Structure 1
Amino acid sequence: MQDQEESIRVRAYRNGAWADSLLLDRARLACKPRLAAAPDGTLWVSWARAEAGGLVLVVTPIVNGQPGPQEIIADGPSANWQHDVVCDQAGRLWLAWEHMNRDTAQVRFSVRENGRWSPPRPVFAAAHRQMRPALAVGQKGEIWCAWDGYLGNYNYDIFLRRLDRASPVWNLTNSATLEQCPALSVGAGNRLWLAWQSNADATGKPDIPRWLALRQWDGKTLRAPAAAMPDRNLLATGMLQSWESPELLASRRGALWLFGRPSQEFSAQAFLGDRWSRRQDFALPGWGGRGEFVRAAEAQDGTIWTVRRDIALIELCAFPALAEAAAKPKLQIAPEQPAPASPAAAVAAAKWQMTAEAREFLIAPAEQKLVFGDLHQHSNLSDGMGTVDDCYTRSRDFYGWDFAALTDHEWFVRNRILPSEWEYIARITAGFHAPPDFVTLHAYEWTAARWPNGPGHKNVYFPDEAQPILSVADSSANLTPKLFARLRETGAMAVPHHIGWTGVDWQHHDPQTQPNVEIVSVHGAFEYLGNEPITHRGGIPGMFMQDGLARGLRFGVLGASDGHGLIWHHGIGRKRDPWVQGLAGVWIEGELTRESLFAALQARRVYATSGVRILLHFSADGHAQGSEYESAAPPRLAVRVAGTAKIRYVYLLRDNQVIHQHGGDFGVGDMVRFEFKDEQAAAGTHWYYVRVVQEDGEMAWSSPIWITRKE
């Protein structure tokens, strides 16, 4: 990328030396290049390019080191990308891709024969979302295509069919778990091998850790290696967890090379027929800075060459040829139960609804509605695990949240979100936006240096998907005042988070652009230094919620997971599940839309919980939390709490000091309601807020109300 444009380049590596690169394309978006070698020595290069409001696929041949004419495979104004390309023994070029409309995606394919491309056709005429196709050529000219499809209830399955003839479509995994990102390779004996990532635990039930699976398909039966995969550890709680994003290569000596992406670095492992090699890491150590996949190819001498994006560079890595051929594969029937695929639409998940009893208890205004969501999540586009669409299928269909946002780091370990990646996030975010049932926000994490060297981290939320990313690596948005000036132009907002760990620049706080602060997440609770019963990561004096309020700043409070897909968040989190360690409750007006959600966030009609649906309504003289008003009379404060477990304490605080405590050592049940008239408040401005502590340790905090008491 250069000057906000992406380019496609090809560079040859021969005899230990690099040739000059060939520039094939340069555009606002030019991404996802793939290579295919033809029998006549032609190298075909394909990629996606922005054009006419969508993305088209571009294919060009390279002959004798020179690029030929570009051929465009366009399929309407939609986004056509996430593709794969192969060349068969007859020189025909096969292309399969993800054809993405606003609210769905379908895998399509086309074949180039005698210099002409066939009209694009669907691989599977199904109503559910289809993604991430992979292709492989059999030794008899078979063209295999695999992809993953979303069937609802956070269930992804792997599908397979042949493209070179009429073929049934198989659902190979046919389970209630998550199987994604298939990879294909054809090995000795014309055996078709597949790999994918799965969140199945040791008993086959869905879980959080993911691992790569290797299978062989003979047209009727799915088989797995008989030898157990060493180093497969679904219970790891440290910084190195899971293994996803597979690349698969069947070598000429019979080994099955499997490459993937753990929570850090990249790793390789080989299946040798009767045993596995040990898994080895071969990337630069440390957080982030990586692409999504490794790509691999075998040289004539048996060397396995891999290429990957790592720490802002393209890294080439060689694995020497094996000293001896692999043994004949020893296989057993796989645990999956393949079945003919169904074209049915995805099953809609049941939605959480507040009961009439709870609403009557809370005495909320008739025009207001309480919704919950997680506005801080990460994927494999930065330093998290899982795909971009995972964020929304998980939030909507597994946890039942009403709204969500993916907030990947835009600049982390010298690795930035590329324009095409930002476009992909935007299109996925738009595709899952379906008010009033589910609302998505287009967002990212502005990742500045920690305090005192920088202002810390802030999530940025846009009202639509049309805005460019504002990177801390760009001089126009590298400081908080510059960022805020740009955000005001678009009506966007920022939310600082894990403030007591990485800090926050209180001196630049702007209640319009930064109306809220995230105070609880996987990193702990940041109400005050030494917070209890939920503790916090780090501990910078002056960088907690109460410190900001004591400075006279005005902001609401949010909870969010800041989940990266790691159990126990590599030993930092207080729960095994990283996605339920922070949650935002928002009192919207009217139906749930982006506009009503943004309005409530701006008005600070929000509160934070530690990851559960604690119901909380706090008002003062009829003014909602987040309000500011003046009063000559002592304020009357009303608190309503319905817990998810027995409530131990409900605290009412004025100016960071407890002025009323409801509850005690024996708790007060799971519903609390009281009013308090503050006769002791002196003249001047005071802030009031509520803290809730349940017996199970879960907590909630209201946003403050600021009251100026007149004489």
Structure 2
Amino acid sequence: MTLLAQRPDRYLRAPRFFSEEGRAALYAIAWEGAHERIVRFEIDARGEVVGETAITGPLPHVRGWAADAPVPSETAEWELVAVHGGSRVTVEHLEGRSRIVLERGGRRELVLDTPAMVASPAAVEAQGGTWIAFHHDLREDSCERDVAKWIALRFVDEDFRVFEPAAAMPDRDRDLEGVEQSFEFPALVAGEDGAIAIFGRGSHNFWRQDLSAQGFGPRVPLSDGEWGSRGRRVTALAIPGGVLVARRDRKGIVVDRGPLPAGGAPALVPAEVHVARELPPPSWDRSRDPARARGLRTFFGDIQQHSAHSDGVGSAEEAYLRARDRYGDDFVALTDHESFLGKRTGPGEWEYLKDVADRFESPGRFATLIAYEWTGKMYPGPGHKCVYFKERERPIVSRDDVPVGRDLVERIKALGGIASPHHIGWTGCDEEGHDPVGQPVWEICSCHGCYEHADHPLGQRGELTHQLVDVMLKKGHRFGFTAASDSHGLLYHHGECRKRDPYRTGLTAVLAPSLDRAAVFDAIRERRCYATSGAKIRLDFTGDGVSMGAELENDGAPVRFRAHAIGEGELERIELVGPGGVLARGEVRGDEGIVEATLAAPYVYARVVQRDGEMAWSSPIFSLPRAAAE
């Protein structure tokens, strides 16, 4: 085994093998200070590096690869296209559907059409046709979409008939609940006798699984399985008598040698091309929106989640496809760690992630935020903060360069962005770094629980009860409320989460006149937003006619508050909360509730509880002395 170690002055990513005149060449993208370049490593038959060459000069950034050559690509082509020999496989994403198309010999045919998320194709030509691998989220037992993804195989023969392995995949388990879940990002190698080796990535390990005439062998781990930020893909190359395998692991790119797959060509059965019926995403009656009375509209989205670009699962595209097509959300933000557990996000990867966000931005239909997670040290350090931008052309401000929370908030504010702390009872709220302008909102609910107050009925990860929302509001800090899943794509978030589906453990709602990136960002920055525990509870809250999140310069005079909520299900209660706890309760009828009260308090927010335990919390309205407001 060879380790191409990461160094402070050089970070390597995205390895790809190519055969060049009978010799193995491994290409990688190298981030070196202010620039990136492509480098080539010559690899011998033992998997040892015997030479290194810079293929390009310094470039501002390298987004990724072309599909069929070790050259930079300005698009996301290599994530959606696989090429081997004369076969070209493309994944196409339509709204609510995915298609796989094979082009070969001047002919273009459909291989799969399904109302599911399909991603990351791989292809290898073998005797009699082309093997295609991909991962998807459609359960084999119910044909329903689920959280975990798994690799599937198709074989397209010379007549373009589509087959799949006759043998069942023995280790496939979409219901795993530990740290290691899913099996995705396939790579394929064909043996000399027709057997196939499948390489892929789980949530925190890389795997190999062979398929031969005897069926599937067991999945064999290639890494240590420890939590960390790894690369997305294994790259593999057949050489005489073996297979060279490379992957970016936690400490660098690992190159190894393994045996060729053997045992004969697998048995096949015909495969369906059109799989499962289409189901519309969930929706709600938008005519029943309390914010409409004030000329606003309510939009819901998950503004913190992770992909395989850090320590989660799935491609960047999947975050947007899942939010839009499966959950029917209005907006989303992908917030991968920019520097965490062996992972650093360089300029090329950052450009690529912004490209994907821009591709899914569709004003009036679906909005995306430019975002990432700044991962500071746990309490008494500054903890973790998500960073959000309205404008695309903004750089990452890294924790490696700016390790202090207050400095981070100041830098982001100067760039026109905002920051937001999260899971504050676990890693801390960074009280010293708080700024109500540069850090206008705090995430209060996610897969880690709810941090409104100690002993919360939704539970909470961590024991930092002195860092929670109620404590900090009583100290006079001003911030609005958001919620998000913080999902890494793991069922029950590997035992830390109260729900099987981690993506439905927190949502942010914004009150905005329209749906686009700028409108969503402005609503969050102005605290015209609220948090829910994952349900799309509609909630409007005003004080003397001004919206939630406002600061009233009233010297503490009484304020007329009104909250109006409509739940996804029957409501249990609606109430106003201040420093002394519950200040007023309203009337609830079915799924609707209203509370009105005149109160004098430094802050007041509305809280809604459904009979099923789902909750919503408006951003507070603050009453300030005039001198403080000025």
TM-score for both structures, normalised by structure 1: 0.79
Distance 1:80 1:688 in 2: 48
The residue number in structure 2 matching 1:446 is 374
Distance 2:389 2:563 in 1: 32
**Cα deviation 1:344-393 (Å, max 9, x = unaligned):** xxx9978956543x34xx37553322221111121111112221111222
Q: Give the letter aligned to residue 129 of structure 2.
A: R
The residue number in structure 1 matching 2:129 is 191
The residue number in structure 1 matching 2:168 is 228
Q: What secondary structure is seen at the aligned counterpart in 1 of 2:231?
A: strand
The residue number in structure 2 matching 1:157 is 99
Distance 1:157 1:332 in 2: 20
Distance 2:491 2:570 in 1: 26
Is the Cα contact below 8 Å between 1:645 and 1:694 reproduced in 2? yes
Q: CA deviation at 1:405?
A: 0.9
Q: CA deviation at 1:494?
A: 0.4
Counterpart check, 1:135 vs 2:73 = no
Q: Root-mean-square deviation (CA), in Å?
A: 2.4
Is the Cα contact below 8 Å between 2:101 and 2:111 reproduced in 1? yes
Counterpart check, 1:22 vs 2:17 = no
The change in CA–CA distance for 1:470 and 1:566 in structure 2 (over 3 A counts) is: same
The residue number in structure 1 matching 2:39 is 9
Is the Cα contact below 8 Å between 1:546 and 1:656 reproduced in 2? no
The residue number in structure 2 matching 1:464 is 391
Counterpart check, 1:144 vs 2:81 = no
The residue number in structure 2 matching 1:607 is 530
Distance 1:254 1:363 in 2: 62
Counterpart check, 1:693 vs 2:609 = yes
The residue number in structure 1 matching 2:517 is 594
Distance 2:335 2:239 in 1: 40
Distance 1:147 1:427 in 2: 19
Which of 278, 283, 303 is equivalent to 2:242?
A: 303
Is the Cα contact below 8 Å between 1:157 and 1:178 reproduced in 2? no
Distance 1:694 1:552 in 2: 29
Map 1:105-144 onto structure 2 (within 5 A): 132-137=80-85, 143-144=86-87
The change in CA–CA distance for 1:332 and 1:587 in structure 2 (over 3 A counts) is: same
The change in CA–CA distance for 1:14 and 1:528 in structure 2 (over 3 A counts) is: same
Q: Give the letter aligned to residue 421 of structure 1.
A: E
Which of 542, 549, 570 is equivalent to 2:494?
A: 570
The residue number in structure 1 matching 2:153 is 214
Q: Give the letter aligned to residue 391 of structure 2.
A: D
Distance 1:31 1:689 in 2: 44
Q: CA deviation at 1:611?
A: 0.9
Counterpart check, 1:326 vs 2:242 = no
Is the Cα contact below 8 Å between 1:586 and 1:607 reproduced in 2? yes
User: Which stretches in structure 2 are left out of the alignment for 5+ residues?
Assistant: 1-30
Q: What secondary structure is seen at the aligned counterpart in 2 of 1:30?
A: coil
Q: Give the letter aligned to residue 481 of structure 2.
A: V
Q: CA deviation at 1:329?
A: 2.3
Is the Cα contact below 8 Å between 2:195 and 2:266 reproduced in 1? no
User: Which stretches in structure 1 are left out of the alignment for 5+ residues?
Assistant: 37-44, 49-56, 58-78, 84-130, 138-142, 339-346
Q: CA deviation at 1:274?
A: 2.1
Counterpart check, 1:401 vs 2:329 = yes
The residue number in structure 1 matching 2:228 is 288
Q: CA deviation at 1:233?
A: 0.7
Map 1:652-663 onto structure 2 (within 5 A): 652-662=576-586
Q: CA deviation at 1:608?
A: 0.4
Q: CA deviation at 1:285?
A: 2.3
Q: Give the letter aligned to residue 110 of structure 2.
A: N
Distance 1:265 1:431 in 2: 30
The residue number in structure 2 matching 1:552 is 476
The residue number in structure 1 matching 2:450 is 525
Is the Cα contact below 8 Å between 1:257 and 1:270 reproduced in 2? yes
Is the Cα contact below 8 Å between 1:173 and 1:179 reproduced in 2? no
Distance 1:480 1:634 in 2: 36
Distance 1:628 1:200 in 2: 47
Q: What secondary structure is seen at the aligned counterpart in 1 of 2:465?
A: coil
Distance 2:198 2:542 in 1: 58
Counterpart check, 1:628 vs 2:551 = yes
Is the Cα contact below 8 Å between 1:136 and 1:186 reproduced in 2? yes
Percent identity for Structure 1 against Structure 2: 34
Distance 2:147 2:135 in 1: 12
Q: What secondary structure is seen at the aligned counterpart in 2 of 1:641?
A: strand
Q: What secondary structure is seen at the aligned counterpart in 2 of 1:240?
A: coil
Q: CA deviation at 1:248?
A: 0.5
The residue number in structure 2 matching 1:47 is 71
Q: Give the letter aligned to residue 281 of structure 1.
A: P
Which of 403, 427, 435 is equivalent to 1:478?
A: 403
Distance 1:35 1:350 in 2: 32
Q: CA deviation at 1:81?
A: 5.3
Distance 1:597 1:673 in 2: 26
Q: CA deviation at 1:557?
A: 0.2
The change in CA–CA distance for 1:335 and 1:238 in structure 2 (over 3 A counts) is: farther
The change in CA–CA distance for 1:351 and 1:278 in structure 2 (over 3 A counts) is: closer
Q: CA deviation at 1:500?
A: 0.8
Is the Cα contact below 8 Å between 1:30 and 1:47 reproduced in 2? no
Q: What secondary structure is seen at the aligned counterpart in 1 of 2:408?
A: helix
Q: What secondary structure is seen at the aligned counterpart in 2 of 1:290?
A: coil
Counterpart check, 1:82 vs 2:77 = yes
Q: Give the letter aligned to residue 345 of structure 2.
A: I
Distance 1:193 1:688 in 2: 61
Q: What secondary structure is seen at the aligned counterpart in 2 of 1:177?
A: coil
Is the Cα contact below 8 Å between 1:412 and 1:447 reproduced in 2? yes
* Bigger mean CA deviation after superposition, 648-657 or 227-236: 648-657
The structure having more radius of gyration, on CA atoms, is: 1
Distance 2:555 2:195 in 1: 78
